[in-house]
Structure 1
Amino acid sequence: MGKIIVSMYMTLDGVIEEPSWTAPYWNDEIANLQHTLLFACDSLLLGRTTYEEFAEAWPKMKDEEGFAERMNSLPKFVASETLETSEWNATFLKGNLAEEVQKLKQNDHNMLIYGSARLVQLLLEHDLIDELHLMVFPLVLGEGKRLFKVGQSQKKFSLGTSRATSTGVILSSYVTATT
């Protein structure tokens, strides 16, 4: 069975939206983690908003490491009831999203989610997230969208790895705990 892997930037107070605040902390350690995650997956699973932002930006990007080429070439599965025109190698998931994602997982390929907070929250509720890769930045914003919503049911994860970058960002991975 395939895995659903989440990669998320967050502040100390759990804010995840509009991550322009990550720029002062960005370094090769974070870039290497993102490279490893992207090249280990078979497709991207994205919410509509993240997909639209990425589809606008990524096709214009180039880099020597092949990251942009990989982002652009991977199949994308997009949770959207409203998008109709498929661009940027996308397939739209409509209807019961949890069921659609469960079917995708049965295809034995790993899907990586960037951003897409509402999608991640829904998949957490249905126990469909296998790994969380959280990059916690040493910053408190005080307000903004958070990854874990109020009223989220309890979910248990086990720590995979954890380390600090030279800029103070904590890179932690968590896997779904088998009770």
Structure 2
Amino acid sequence: MRKLVVTAFATLDGVVQSPGGPDEDRDGGFAHGGWAVPGIDEQVLAVMGELTGRAGALLLGRRTYDIFAATWPLAGADDPLGARMNELPKHVVSRTPRVLTWTNATQLDGGVAEAVAELKGEPGGEIQVHGSGALVQALLTHDLVDELHLLVFPVLLGTGKRLFGGGTVPVGLRLVSATTTATGVVIAAYARGGGVEYGAMGPETGNW
């Protein structure tokens, strides 16, 4: 069974909308596009290079595919991350038929849960989801995410699309690794850890 790994750039208040540029996604009048760029240093790039190097395929939502397809093919031959993104198979989730021009891109047929479950059952390396917030919610709902790799940037925006919005399914997570960059980005990997555990605080419980 192939592992499905979600990677997301997020603000401290959970916003994932338009991290890389002002015009990536202006839905809702979002005016903070590009908020992640000041925090992206060599360490962040190295982590992304290592993650992408493990990928056997990308799984992308419609909007993220459009953003990536407009930028990654422009990467030069001296950009190893760009070269890797361009050569990987890409599976695109969209409700309507699309003409996909990015190299090795195909559209998934059928329902998301069934199509992704079938994809996970095929041989190959990790299936990686980058961005694609709405898709991530659907994958979590159907218990298809094995790991979450979150790069949390030291900024608060207050508005914008959030990775874990309304309708997020309760689930426990297990911390796999964590590190902090010189620019204050916290990079943490979490694996699914079963259900949510509960307790109580207070002197009468001994948890004080």
Q: For this structure pair, what is the TM-score category when the shorter chain's length is used for normalisation? A: over 0.9
Conserved 8 A contact 2:153-2:185: yes
SS in 2 for 1:144: coil
User: In the alignment, which residue of structure 2 is the partner of 1:92?
Assistant: 107
Q: Secondary structure at 1:14's aligned position in 2?
A: coil
Kindly tell me the number of residue pairs found equivalent between the two proteins: 179
Task: Tell me the residue number matched to 1:113.
Answer: 129
**Deviation (angstroms), 1:62:** 1.5
Question: Which ranges of structure 2 fall in alignment gaps of 5 or more residues?
Answer: 20-33, 196-208
1:167 aligned partner: 183
Cα displacement (A) at 1:81 = 2.0
Runs of 5+ in structure 1 lacking a partner? Answer: none
Q: Which runs of 4+ in 1 moved over 4 A?
A: none
CA contact (8 A) 1:81 1:93 kept: no
In structure 1, the residue matched to 2:204 is none
The equivalent residue for 1:27 is 41
Report the AA paired with residue 106 of structure 1: G
Q: Greater Rg, structure 1 or structure 2?
A: 2
Q: Distance in 1 between matches of 2:58 and 2:128?
A: 5
Deviating more after overlay: 137-146 vs 58-67: 58-67
Deviation at 1:83, TM superposition (A): 3.6
TM-score (structure 1 length as normaliser): 0.96
Match of 2:3 in 1: 3
Deviates more, 1:13-22 or 1:78-87: 78-87
Moved more, 92-101 or 78-87: 78-87
User: What SS does the aligned partner of 2:55 have?
Assistant: coil
Structure scoring higher RCO (CA < 8 A, sep ≥ 6) equals 1
Show the counterpart of 1:15: 15
Structure 1 residue 53, shift from structure 2 partner: 1.0
Instruction: Confirm or deny that 1:144 pairs with 2:160.
Output: yes
Q: TM-score, normalised by structure 2?
A: 0.83
The amino acid that maps onto 1:97 is: V
In structure 1, the partner of 2:169 is 153
Does the alignment pair 1:103 with 2:118?
yes
2:74 corresponds to: 60
| Amino acid in structure 2 at the alignment position of 1:55 | A
Structure 2 residue 96 is matched with structure 1 residue 82: yes
2:36 counterpart SS class: helix
CA–CA distance in structure 1, aligned partners of residues 100 and 188 of structure 2: 34
Residues 37-52 of structure 1 aligned to structure 2 (within 5 Å) = 37-52=51-66
